[in-house]
């Protein structure tokens, strides 16, 4: 094996270079008088040992070795010196910059023996590094296998119902993100399952045996949120008679979920950012810095981009938490999953699933659910009450309940609730925009007509257009409505 080892020789003295080459003829040697050429060779080629003179024009032997180590550390080095640099060189040996140094003129036998020891040390170090790398890879493989076993053995992912491609992609993201300790931003409209995803991430993570703590930025007043997050020290002058642990203390070694982070005040955003960067924080009223090993997940009803553009959300915090993102789709974008989720909710709540016919199931699948899964869960309760009181659920019952739900969410969400009832195209497929808009307009008018019992005046008021304008649209869109006997009203309505 010795004759396979490659040795770079650097000395500006031709006589010394020839001597080294002859003594080390059992090895593959690469002699250089110019240190710059030696550096270029080392940058472009593999080698095992560098033997260099200590003092050369423009650079020292130690300086050359330091330059070589910028591109690779997989080699050993020896320095030859004819000067009294012993103390300086010894410090380099102790700092592992050098394997050894020899004084000139070096005896052939001593040189050969030192080179053999240096290469033996290199071989040992390489084997040790390979074993350590193998251990790291084995540990990583075991972690991945362990994660996969948890997926197959009643995986927490079973809590994320659906076969929609968006949901399947999210499941893959969860698998990839679960073993990380990085912050994750989980985005989505209210009721889309953001907290469910956060819980699954925790249960699949190495921290699953440790605490899982959630804190909502909307349910705790902003002036108290810092106290709840970071805790407080005893400070009677500030009204704090006893020390208080915060959510960070409660979540030590586990997972903390900060819900609705878009509501976090800017001063508190800065403190959360500091904790994410350094793992440290100050309790309220405290002067001593504390640390905590906590993985932090964030949920938001928005992408945070509008808040950031308005200056309400710190860019530094956004870039810190949004590197890993999971976007939860609304139910209207995964309609094929609605009935499966409906049945899963019933099973989870140990309540019966109302007996539904084809038309009733179709109504449930086509509705837009501006309140998403949260609204679907409430709908299950309403339909079960109807089933118990009247012996069954009809299509008319479901239409009435959905109409009431739409009104309720319209009051809370305003125009957003209306927009969320529209199934928009992905933008990837060809689209006749005029026909698409006509279809939407037809559906909106029909829905409003049914709600108003086909009263034209009431429908025109609800749609905020004139009666004649509504009639024109009904004719153009070929909506089957009988205008006979319709009373003329104020055209300005």
Instruction: List, for residues 231-240, the tens digit of each pLDDT value.
Output: 888 876 656 6
Q: What is the mean pLDDT of residues 254-281?
A: 95
pLDDT at 339: 93
CA 275 – CA 445 distance, rounded (Å): 53
pLDDT at 193: 93
pLDDT at 420: 55
383 within 8 A of 398, measured Cβ to Cβ: yes
| Rounded (10°) CA dihedral 45, 46, 52, 57 | 20
- Going along the chain from its start, the domains and CATH numbers come out as 2-125 (3.40.50.2300), 157-327 (3.40.50.300), 331-419 (1.10.8.60), 430-493 (1.10.10)
Cα torsion angle, 461, 467, 469, 470, sign: positive
Query: What's the start-to-end Cα distance of the chain, in Å?
Result: 97
Q: What is the mean pLDDT of residues 76-91?
A: 72
The phi-psi region of residue 464 (left if phi > 0; otherwise alpha if psi is between -120 and 50; otherwise beta) is left
Mode of pairing for the β-strands spanning 184-187 and 212-216: unpaired
Classify burial at 63, counting beta carbons within 10 Å of its beta carbon; exposed 0-12, middle 13-18, buried 19 or more: middle
Classify burial at 113, counting beta carbons within 10 Å of its beta carbon; exposed 0-12, middle 13-18, buried 19 or more: exposed
Classify burial at 186, counting beta carbons within 10 Å of its beta carbon; exposed 0-12, middle 13-18, buried 19 or more: buried
Q: What is the mean pLDDT of the chain?
A: 85
pLDDT at 466: 92
61 within 8 A of 53, measured Cβ to Cβ: yes
pTM of the model: 0.58
Sheet holding 295-300, edge to edge: 212-216, 255-259, 295-300, 184-187, 325-327
| Rounded (10°) CA dihedral 57, 63, 67, 72 | 130
Nearest in space to 185 (alpha carbons), one of 259, 90, 78, 265: 259
Which comes out higher in pLDDT, residue 401 or 483? 401
Nearest in space to 156 (alpha carbons), one of 201, 111, 102: 201
Most confident of 48-62, 75-89, 313-327, 397-411: 313-327
Instruction: List, for residues 331-345, the tens digit of each pLDDT value.
Output: 888 889 999 999 988
Q: Is the pLDDT of residue 225 over 50?
A: yes
Q: What share of the chain is helix, strand, coil (3-state, %, to 5)?
A: 55, 10, 35
Residue 32 CA neighbour count, 13 Å, CB half:
20
Query: Which pLDDT band, with edges at 50, 70 and 90, does 152 fall under?
Result: very low
CA 233 – CA 244 distance, rounded (Å): 6
Q: What is the mean pLDDT of residues 153-176?
A: 86
Q: Is the pLDDT of residue 490 over 80?
A: no
Q: What is the mean pLDDT of residues 254-282?
A: 94
301 within 8 A of 263, measured Cβ to Cβ: no
Query: Which pLDDT band, with edges at 50, 70 and 90, does 3 fall under?
Result: low
Q: CA-based diameter of the chain, in Å? A: 121
Return the beta strands (E) in 84-229 as ranges: 100-103, 184-187, 212-216
Q: Is the pLDDT of residue 89 over 90?
A: no
Q: What is the mean pLDDT of residues 181-209?
A: 94
List residues bridging with 53 in a β-sheet. 80
pLDDT at 268: 95
pLDDT at 439: 80
Q: Is the pLDDT of residue 41 over 90?
A: yes
pLDDT at 2: 45
Which run of H or E residues covers position 89?
A: helix 86-94
pLDDT at 253: 95
Q: What percent of the chain has pLDDT over 90?
A: 41
Pure H helices in 32-80: 35-44, 61-69
Q: What is the mean pLDDT of residues 121-125?
A: 89
Q: What percent of the chain has pLDDT over 70?
A: 87
DSSP string computed for 434-454: HHHHHHHHHHHHHHHHHHTTT
pLDDT at 141: 73
Instruction: List, for residues 339-393, the tens digit of each pLDDT value.
Output: 999 998 888 888 888 888 899 898 888 888 888 999 999 999 999 998 888 888 8
Query: Which pLDDT band, with edges at 50, 70 and 90, does 94 fall under?
Result: low
- Contacting residues for 186 by C-beta, under 8 A, at least 6 apart: 194, 197, 198, 297, 298, 299, 300, 325, 326, 328
CA 228 – CA 210 distance, rounded (Å): 20
- Contacting residues for 227 by C-beta, under 8 A, at least 6 apart: 244, 246, 284
Q: Is the pLDDT of residue 199 over 70?
A: yes
Instruction: List, for residues 283-305, the tens digit of each pLDDT value.
Output: 988 888 999 999 999 999 999 99
Which comes out higher in pLDDT, residue 412 or 464? 464
pLDDT at 444: 84
Instruction: List, for residues 259-269, the tens digit of each pLDDT value.
Output: 999 999 999 99
Q: Is the pLDDT of residue 128 over 80?
A: yes
Nearest in space to 327 (alpha carbons), one of 424, 186, 199: 186
CA 170 – CA 187 distance, rounded (Å): 12
pLDDT at 281: 93
pLDDT at 145: 60
Mode of pairing for the β-strands spanning 255-259 and 212-216: parallel
DSSP string computed for 201-244: HHHTSTTTTS-EEEEETTTS-HHHHHHHHH-B--BGGGTB-S-B
pLDDT at 489: 42
Query: Which pLDDT band, with edges at 50, 70 and 90, does 156 fall under?
Result: confident
pLDDT at 304: 93
Least confident of 82-91, 120-129, 212-221, 463-472: 82-91
- Contacting residues for 166 by C-beta, under 8 A, at least 6 apart: 329, 333, 334
pLDDT at 349: 83
CA 380 – CA 20 distance, rounded (Å): 87
- Contacting residues for 249 by C-beta, under 8 A, at least 6 apart: 231, 292
pLDDT at 355: 87
Q: Which two tokens stand for residue 130?
A: 């390979």
Query: Which pLDDT band, with edges at 50, 70 and 90, does 42 fall under?
Result: very high
Place of tokens 């050894």: 100
Upstream peptide bond of 388 is cis (omega within 30 degrees of 0): no
Q: Is the pLDDT of residue 423 over 60?
A: no
195 within 8 A of 188, measured Cβ to Cβ: no
């Amino acid at each position: 094996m010795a004759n396979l080892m490659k040795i770079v020789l650097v000395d500006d003295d031709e006589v010394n270079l020839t001597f080294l080459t002859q003594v080390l003829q059992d090895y593959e040697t690469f002699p250089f008088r110019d240190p710059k050429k030696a550096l270029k060779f080392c940058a472009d080629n593999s080698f095992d040992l560098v033997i260099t003179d200590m003092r050369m024009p423009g650079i020292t032997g130690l300086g050359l070795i330091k330059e070589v180590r910028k591109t690779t550390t997989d080699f050993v080095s020896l320095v030859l010196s004819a000067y009294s640099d012993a103390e300086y060189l010894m410090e380099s040996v102790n700092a592992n910059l050098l394997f050894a140094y020899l004084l000139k003129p070096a005896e052939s036998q001593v040189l050969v023996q030192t080179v053999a020891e240096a290469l033996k040390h290199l071989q040992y170090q390489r084997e040790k590094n390979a074993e350590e790398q193998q251990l790291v890879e084995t540990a990583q493989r075991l972690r991945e296998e362990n994660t996969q076993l948890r997926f197959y053995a009643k995986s927490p992912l079973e809590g994320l119902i659906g076969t929609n491609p968006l949901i399947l992609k999210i499941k893959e993201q969860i698998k990839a993100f679960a073993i990380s300790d990085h912050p994750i931003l989980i985005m989505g409209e209210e009721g889309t399952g953001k907290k469910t995803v956060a819980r699954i991430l925790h249960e699949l993570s190495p921290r699953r045996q440790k605490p899982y703590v959630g804190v909502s930025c909307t349910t705790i007043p902003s002036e108290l949120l810092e106290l709840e997050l970071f805790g407080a020290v005893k400070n009677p002058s500030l009204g704090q008679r006893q020390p208080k642990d915060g959510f960070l203390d409660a979540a030590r070694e586990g997972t903390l979920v900060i819900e609705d982070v878009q509501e976090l005040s800017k001063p508190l955003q800065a403190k959360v950012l500091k904790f994410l960067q350094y793992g440290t924080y100050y309790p309220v009223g405290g002067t001593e810095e504390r640390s905590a090993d906590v993985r932090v997940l964030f949920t938001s009803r928005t992408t945070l981009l509008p808040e950031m553009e308005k200056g309400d959300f710190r860019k530094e915090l956004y870039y810190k938490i949004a590197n890993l993102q999971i976007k939860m789709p609304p139910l209207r974008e995964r309609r094929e999953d609605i009935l499966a989720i409906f049945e899963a909710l019933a099973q989870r709540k140990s309540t019966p699933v109302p007996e539904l016919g084809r038309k009733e199931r179709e109504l449930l699948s086509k509705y837009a659910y501006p309140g998403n899964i949260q609204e679907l869960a409430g709908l299950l309760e309403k339909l079960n009450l109807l089933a118990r009181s009247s012996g069954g659920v009809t299509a008319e019952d479901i239409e009435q309940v959905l109409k009431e739900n739409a009104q309720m969410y319209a009051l809370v969400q305003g125009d957003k609730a209306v927009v969320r009832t529209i199934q928009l195209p992905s933008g990837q497929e060809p689209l006749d925009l005029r026909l698409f808009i006509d279809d939407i307009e037809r559906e909106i008018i029909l829905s409003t007509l049914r709600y108003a019992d086909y009263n034209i005046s009431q429908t025109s008021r609800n749609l905020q257009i004139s009666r004649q304008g509504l009639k024109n649209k009904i004719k153009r869109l070929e909506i089957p409505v009988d205008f006979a006997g319709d009373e003329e009203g104020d055209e300005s309505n």
